[in-house]
Amino acid sequence: MELAGQVNGEGIDSWNTIIFLYNSALKEVGTKLEILNDEFQHVHQYNPIEYIKSRIKSPESIVKKLKRYGYESTIDNMVNYINDIAGIRIVCSFTSDIYRMAEMIGKQNDLTVVSVKDYIKNPKASGYKSYHMLVTVPIFLSDRVVDTKVEIQIRTIAMDFWASLEHKIYYKFEGNAPDYISRDLRDCAEIVSMLDAKMLSLNEAILEARAAQRHDMWKQMPSVGATT
């Protein structure tokens, strides 16, 4: 493949080297996310992350994207113009968790946030919703440090379910699904949004009820030094 045979002029000299860098970046970011989740559990007794998925984009997908952007299939173009070669998907329970995670990620000193795309507040025309962050993480090699890009997608379980099925459906039609399919998918996206909003509201109601219970129990406890 042409892409694997090209040389980047900045010292990244082979396909294997560049994939090694992206895999290393995924490990670095993945470890940070696990630590943040563990810390949140320790402090708040709650896990904002349901699960994490990571992947490296296939050579075929990289070539297709470069051609779509109008670039030749070289490693130099791949590094400069394809931002989602290394991707991590964070799946949360509630929409509030998405923004909580994004804030925590943004505060990591050794991660640089390059760009943010909020497709939750501004969904795509297809109905797609997700929160995207493009970050760079320094990979320390024996002779140099290479800042490597990772795309982080943060979604709820419902958003991830919709996006996974949408991808499968459009893959079958090679991106040219009939209008009624696209319309039904947008309708499903609205249902997903209503479900997320309802589950968030329900969770907030449960938290309020538990807080009220603890307050009532505290009021009923005998004060220190009280006589019987």
Average pLDDT over residues 19-41: 94
Pairing of strands 86-92, 145-156: parallel
State the pTM of this model. Answer: 0.83
Residue 189 has pLDDT above 70, yes or no: yes
Residue 227 in this model has a pLDDT that exceeds 90: no
Domain covering 3-208 in this structure, CATH number = 3.30.460.10
pLDDT over 50 at 4, yes or no:
no
Look up residue 127 and give its DSSP letter: -
Nearest to 88 by CA among 16, 32, 19, 128: 32
Distance separating alpha carbons of residues 88 and 104, to the nearest angstrom: 15
Active-site positions read 151
Residue 162 to residue 39: CA distance in whole angstroms: 30
pLDDT for residue 2: 45
How do residues 123-142 score in pLDDT, each as one tens digit? Answer: 999 999 999 999 999 999 88
Task: Give domain limits for the chain.
Answer: 3-208
Mean pLDDT within 22-48: 93
**Per-residue pLDDT at 225:** 55
Q: Among 62-71, 84-93, 203-212, which is the least confidently predicted range?
A: 203-212
Count Cβ atoms below 10 Å from residue 166 Cβ, excluding itself: 20
> Which pLDDT score, from 0 to 100, does residue 5 have?
43
Q: How confident is the model at residue 182 (pLDDT cuts 50, 70, 90)?
A: confident
pLDDT at 217: 73
